[in-house]
Amino acid sequence: MSDFTELRLDGVGRRFAGKDALADLDLTIAAGEFIALLGPSGCGKSTALNCLAGLLPLTAGSIWQRSQDGERRIDTLPPEKRGFGMVFQSYALFPHMSVRRNVAFGLQMRRLSRAEVKRRTDEAIRLVQLEEHADKLPGQLSGGQQQRVAIARAVVLEPSLVLMDEPLSNLDAKLRLEMRTEIRRLHQSLGLTTVYVTHDQEEALSLADRLVVLRAGRVQQVGTPEELHSRPANWHVADFMGFRNILELEATQVSGTEVVVQGEGLRLVGTSTGGVATGDRVMAAVRPEDLVVATGDNATGATVDVVEYQGRELAVEARTSSGRALHVRTDQRLAPGDEVTLTVRPERLLVYPVAPGEHAPAPLAEAVAG
Ligand code: ATP
């Protein structure tokens, strides 16, 4: 469906009142790719998407579209000349028009024949499985169904690129999961190229071929779900990707990639991600599921503090003797007050360098109290 082979963002930036909302974004999107823009609130995700869409002029850089005929610059084109489809958090459907008319509207504006409009509208409605609801008004549909209409309306125009800004954030948990699968299915079956904005790392990991993690307007890492999950590029990305234990410690011994980290009553062996020297202050990051309740090497003692039931597993907060809170996931039936030994495999404790002035994120309870 794409009429391009590649879309290239070259040093794209956007400033508001002298402050960078987005800076130096270099990214090449291949036709057929599913890209997720991921990051915490205010990191510049929507700004990036709106720059791509043409809703926001760039203040730096350029955007290029490559096709068989060569490369052309598109950031100077108005949104309607770019041929992109858009799906937003708010569905923005016409409330007085039926589902069918909402979906057909864009095709009618293009002055296609009546038969062609009908054929493509029926096809789009079938793809999002709304055949039974085609004659209803948006107000008679659930949130998930309305979002399906919004998606059908975007894909019916066979856009070269579909831009989605948190399209599932208004839906309840079950529907979010269903629509997630739906979006991935549509992306594949229609051969779409999709750029999808979300702050939900799980959603991004499950949907995208590649993720772009932003923080404070700057790209932190671009990679496959696997790369982001196992090897975050810095401790901020690790923190965002579910390494809930970020410990500010000292590297007391470095040999190759093996690092001994110490502080807060802990002494553990971890794996350097590069740029760590003996005597450095570092961040040691470990996922709750990689802190294992078992006796063994590379361990610390802790007392169970809070236990949350989460189906087959428990989410446990334990405290070391120095008062450091650690997040643990375990299938062992622990209770508050239990004394446990927590071990970690050195390759699962990632040790990151720290920039001057940076400090570990405060645990939520302390942040609130403080
Ligand atoms: P969220 O997930 O909360 O929507 P986001 O990652 O999409 O966040 P953006 O909306 O891109 O973030 O905003 C990035 C930064 O730019 C923020 O600091 C925001 O306050 C600022 N910003 C965005 N739009 C404007 C504007 N029109 N005027 C001034 N500042 C803006």
This prediction has a pTM of 0.88
Confidence of residue 363 (pLDDT cuts 50, 70, 90): low
Q: How far is CA 110 from CA 107, 126, 161, in A?
A: 5, 21, 18
Residue 170 scores a pLDDT above 50: yes
Distance CA 248, CA 369 (A): 20
Taking all residues of the chain, what is their mean pLDDT, rounded to a whole number? Answer: 91
Q: What pLDDT is attached to residue 83?
A: 85
Confidence of residue 1 (pLDDT cuts 50, 70, 90): very low
84-98, 123-137, 210-224: the lowest-pLDDT one: 84-98
Angle, helices 114-127 vs 143-155, to 10°: value is 140
For residues 221 and 312, membership in a common domain is answered with no
> Residue 188 belongs to a domain with what CATH number?
3.40.50.300
Does the C-beta of 198 come closer than 6 Å to ligand 1?
Answer: no
Confidence of residue 175 (pLDDT cuts 50, 70, 90): confident
Contacts of 225 (CB under 8 A, 6+ apart): 204, 205, 206, 208, 211
Q: What pLDDT is attached to residue 189?
A: 85
DSSP SS3 for 214? strand
For residues 164 and 255, membership in a common domain is answered with no
Residue 61 lies in a domain: yes
Number of structural domains (the chain) is: 2
For residues 225 and 287, membership in a common domain is answered with no
How close is the Cα of 215 to the center of ligand 1, in Å?
A: 12
Reported residue count of the chain is 370
Q: What pLDDT is attached to residue 333?
A: 93
For residues 46 and 145, membership in a common domain is answered with yes
Q: What is the pLDDT of residues 100-136, one digit of tens each?
A: 999 999 888 888 899 999 999 998 898 888 999 999 9
Residue 164 lies in a domain: yes
Structural domain range at position 264: 245-369
Q: What is the pLDDT of residues 328-358, one digit of tens each?
A: 999 999 999 999 999 999 999 999 999 888 8
State mean pLDDT over 243-270. Answer: 96
Q: Ligand 1, atom 3: nearest CA belongs to which residue?
A: 41
Q: Ligand 1, atom 29: nearest CA belongs to which residue?
A: 16
For residues 180 and 315, membership in a common domain is answered with no
How close is the Cα of 89 to the center of ligand 1, in Å?
A: 15
For residues 217 and 254, membership in a common domain is answered with no
Q: Ligand 1, atom 25: nearest CA belongs to which residue?
A: 16
For residues 222 and 250, membership in a common domain is answered with no
How close is the Cα of 20 to the center of ligand 1, in Å?
A: 10
State mean pLDDT over 205-219. Answer: 96
Q: Ligand 1, atom 26: nearest CA belongs to which residue?
A: 16
Does the C-beta of 38 come closer than 6 Å to ligand 1?
Answer: no
Residue 9 scores a pLDDT above 90: yes
Find the distance separating the first CA and the last CA of the chain, reported in whole Å: 54
For residues 72 and 149, membership in a common domain is answered with yes
Strand partners, 255: 258
Residue 362 scores a pLDDT above 60: yes
For residues 148 and 292, membership in a common domain is answered with no
How close is the Cα of 16 to the center of ligand 1, in Å?
A: 9
Does the C-beta of 46 come closer than 6 Å to ligand 1?
Answer: yes
State mean pLDDT over 19-48. Answer: 95
Does the C-beta of 195 come closer than 6 Å to ligand 1?
Answer: no
Does the C-beta of 39 come closer than 6 Å to ligand 1?
Answer: yes
